[in-house]
Amino acid sequence: MKTLKRMRKDLILYVMLLPGFIYFTIFHIIPIVNMKLAFEDYKIIGENTWAGMKHFNTLFSSPAFLDVLQNTIIISSMKIIFIFPIPIILSLLINELRFGPYRKFIQSISYLPHFLSWVVIAGIWITLLNPADGAINVIRNFFNLPSIDFMTSKEHIRWVLVFSEMWRSAGWDTILYIAAILKISPSLYEAAKMDGASTFQQMRYITLPAMVSTVITVFILNLGFFMNAGFDQVFNLMNDSVLSVIDILDTYVYRIGLMNGQYAYATAASLFKGVIGLILILGTHFISKKITGKGVW
Amino acid sequence: MRTFSVTKSIIQFVLFLFALAILIPLLNILAMSLSDPARVNELSGLGVLPKGFSFINYEIIFSNPLIIKSLLNSLFITIIGTLLNLFLTAMTAYVLARTEFVGKKFVLFVLIGIMVFEPSMITEYLLMKDLGLLNSYASVILYKAINVYYLFILMRFFQEIPDSIVEAARIDGAGHFRIFTSIILPLSKPALATMALFYGVYHWNEYFRATIYITDPNKWPLQVVLRQFVVSQDNMTMLQGIEGMRPELLASLDFGSLQSTTIVIAVIPMLLLYPLILKYFTKGTMDGGEKE
């Protein structure tokens, strides 16, 4: 009764929450509940019928799905191994610049690609990698190396994903690291300089240790999104010649679900990805809480 | 005393190369779009200055009715979408950040759940279909009416507003809605500007939902048309506006240059906002990312 009275007194709060509540219910919760479609057969007319684990059995015995799973893991791993250290190095370098126009210039330029859509970036990179006169092949030819058609080369396309992602996000991802660096007391550097520490020694013994907890948090956050592997990127850089090596879970769901209309089967693939993702995020959240005291949220 | 340091000079040079690696591809696209189509093949991939100078590519692209429509569509979706985002996010953030009520814990728990588990694009698509929203602007506007990450960032801003300011109004008998509109919102202008930029950039760059929800080309936003030109290499769509143009100009059409021109047009609004973005966005992300 007391609770009810309080709720009536706070009525305005519930009214203010109502639009958000309706939005989240319709556009988030209902589509999540509807993922039970993974256990059903989709019917255009009438109720869907129960199908049990049928779609999951098909999924795990399908070589196409296993290839896609493998691609997702390979691409995500390549990105973590080769991209993750770059913003750390960049922030250490930027930190060595004196505050002023040059530093501002470098930072402003480095954030820019983050604000471009993957459609735009795909357009830029297709031009950049053009076998006839793209910048990369112009440079290769200058060193007497033959031109490569990167976009249609199965050998190279995953590296295209790695480098274009690096181009887009390396600068932007320095923001959190630089914020951590700026919190370091300048007196530490003063003292180190007095003792004759070199620029490199200051980086190694003052700056880097101060960044460790941010580095761990960011790394763990990245692991949480491991199953994504960058849908927007692959979706825009994909073509028939390289599909087999860069088809990832989300592009597979898009193709079999939205293109071929196998809604239930595609939802099963989505649900599988979602559950693995959930385990990774929850797992990393609790590990992060233990190590750094900070969680993902 | 300033001393010359070899290490510092090397660092400055390395960062300069890094900036070039970002800038050259962008300037190359711009140079391509402004080059004389007859001479654009002389432009190297590393070139940043146009070969000859001509606005013909822009003339062709802007005479394409699909481009004009899509620009208007993008503006409409971005402006209406952002206003709706701001209103819903701010009102929800106020209630969650500054008030206590029965059920708050449960609401926060559900929000975290929403953050860590995304619905499938299939069930989202089927929902839009069931709601009859396919082929409507509403589909792309409503799909992300509140972003949970941004909601949490805004809640942190609101929490920082000192209680003393709100207390005075409460004593004067102001209700929650009054406090929200006449105290919290005016005090949060920088935070709201940050949010507007967050959401605005999102809407302007969104292409995927529009691709799957909107099949009528007249309702496509610019990014979908751009994708059609650049990723799907649909040259027929690109040349929709050329009927009635001077034939001598058409003789020297270059598809690559036309694609570059569309890219430039899609990027320009972002560049115009970029100084504001640098001012608010970077700070907002830092505040949001730093957790106690």
Query: Distance, in angstroms, between B11 CA and closest chain A CA?
Result: 6
Chain B within 8 Å of A126 (Cβ-Cβ)?
yes
Least confident residue range of A176-185, B206-215, B273-282: B273-282
Return the residue of B nearest to A23 by Cα.
B145
Interface test with B, best of A27, A251, A259 (most B CBs within 10 A): A27
Average pLDDT over residues B262-272: 94
Least confident residue range of A68-72, A169-173, A213-217, A269-273: A213-217
Tokens of B237: 């769509």
Domain containing B73 — which CATH number? 1.10.3720.10
Query: Distance, in angstroms, between B211 CA and closest chain A CA?
Result: 11
Domains contained in chain A, CATH given: 1-52 (no CATH), 62-120+163-292 (1.10.3720.10)
pLDDT value at position B1? 42
pLDDT value at position A225? 87
Average pLDDT over residues A37-54: 91
Q: Of B105 and B3, which is predicted with more confidence? A: B105
Q: Are A27 and B142 an interchain contact pair (Cβ–Cβ within 8 Å)?
A: yes
Q: Of B250 and A169, which is predicted with more confidence? A: A169
Rounded to whole angstroms, the Cα distance separating A114 from A87 reads 13
Average pLDDT over residues A198-221: 88
H or E element in which residue A282 lies: helix A263-292
Last residue of a domain, one of B54, B81, B98: B54
- State whether B10 and B99 are in the same domain: no
Least confident residue range of A23-37, A234-248, B10-24, B36-50: B36-50
DSSP 3-state assignment of B280? helix
pLDDT value at position B246? 67
- State whether B232 and B105 are in the same domain: yes
Q: Is the pLDDT of residue B281 over 70?
A: no
Q: Which of B254, B235, B122, B72 is nearest to A273 (CA)?
A: B122
Residues of A in contact with B116 (CB under 8 A): 277-278, 281-282, 296
Average pLDDT over residues A3-18: 90
Residues of B in contact with A232 (CB under 8 A): 208
- State whether B167 and B212 are in the same domain: yes
- State whether B146 and B48 are in the same domain: no
- State whether B104 and B70 are in the same domain: yes
Interface test with B, best of A3, A10, A28, A242 (most B CBs within 10 A): A28
- Quote the number of domains for chain B: 2
Chain B within 8 Å of A131 (Cβ-Cβ)?
no
Q: Which residue reads 């290839």 in tokens?
A: A67
Question: Looking at the predicted complex, does its ipTM rise above 0.95?
Answer: no
Residues of B in contact with A29 (CB under 8 A): 110, 114
Residues of A in contact with B176 (CB under 8 A): 12-13, 16
Return the residue of B nearest to A5 by Cα.
B102
Tokens of B174: 């102001």
Contact A156, A150 (CB under 8 A): yes
- The tens digit of pLDDT for each residue in A165-190 reads 999 999 999 998 998 998 899 899 99
- State whether B215 and B116 are in the same domain: yes
pLDDT value at position B151? 95
Host domain of residue B5: 1-54
pLDDT value at position B286? 57
Rounded to whole angstroms, the Cα distance separating B157 from B11 reads 36
pLDDT value at position B249? 65
Q: How confident is the model at residue A219 (pLDDT cuts 50, 70, 90)?
A: confident
Residues of A in contact with B129 (CB under 8 A): none
- State whether B7 and B118 are in the same domain: no
- State whether B71 and B163 are in the same domain: yes
Q: Of B244 and B57, which is predicted with more confidence? A: B57
Q: Are B15 and A97 an interchain contact pair (Cβ–Cβ within 8 Å)?
A: yes
Q: Is the pLDDT of residue B202 over 80?
A: yes
pLDDT value at position A297? 66
Q: Which of A117, A39, A222, A216 is nearest to B225 (CA)?
A: A117
Neighbours of B267 (CB within 10 A): 23
pLDDT value at position B237? 75
Q: Is the pLDDT of residue B2 over 70?
A: no
- State whether B46 and B155 are in the same domain: no
Max distance between CA atoms of chain B, in angstroms, equals 76
Interface test with B, best of A108, A119, A201, A281 (most B CBs within 10 A): A119
- The tens digit of pLDDT for each residue in B82-101 reads 999 999 999 999 999 999 99
Last residue of a domain, one of B18, B36, B54: B54
Q: Are B175 and A126 an interchain contact pair (Cβ–Cβ within 8 Å)?
A: no
Interface of A with B in 43-62 (CB under 8 A): none
| DSSP calls for A190-255 | HHHHHTT--HHHHIIIIIHHHHHHHHHHHHHHHHHTTTT--HHHHHHH--TTTHHHH--HHHHHII
Spatial neighbors of B160 by CB under 8 A, at least 6 apart, are none
Nearest to A117 among B91, B117, B205 (CB): B205
Backbone angles phi, psi at B17, to 5 degrees: -60, -40
Rounded to whole angstroms, the Cα distance separating B277 from A110 reads 13
- State whether B246 and B114 are in the same domain: yes
- State whether B97 and B149 are in the same domain: yes
Q: Is the pLDDT of residue B222 over 80?
A: yes
Q: What is the mean pLDDT of chain B?
A: 89
Rounded to whole angstroms, the Cα distance separating B139 from B124 reads 10
Would the CA dihedral through A84, A90, A93, A97 be positive or negative? negative
pLDDT value at position B289? 45
Q: Is the pLDDT of residue A234 over 70?
A: yes
Pinpoint the alpha helices (H) of chain B: 6-34, 56-62, 65-98, 104-116, 121-130, 137-142, 148-160, 163-171, 176-179, 185-187, 189-205, 208-213, 222-230, 235-238, 247-250, 255-289
Backbone angles phi, psi at B238, to 5 degrees: -65, -30
H or E element in which residue A166 lies: helix A157-169
pLDDT value at position B282? 65
- State whether B66 and B47 are in the same domain: no
Q: How many CA atoms lie within 13 A of B189 on its CB side?
A: 3
Residues of B in contact with A35 (CB under 8 A): 119-120, 123
- The tens digit of pLDDT for each residue in B96-138 reads 999 999 999 999 999 999 988 999 999 999 999 999 999 999 9
Q: Of A287 and A11, which is predicted with more confidence? A: A11
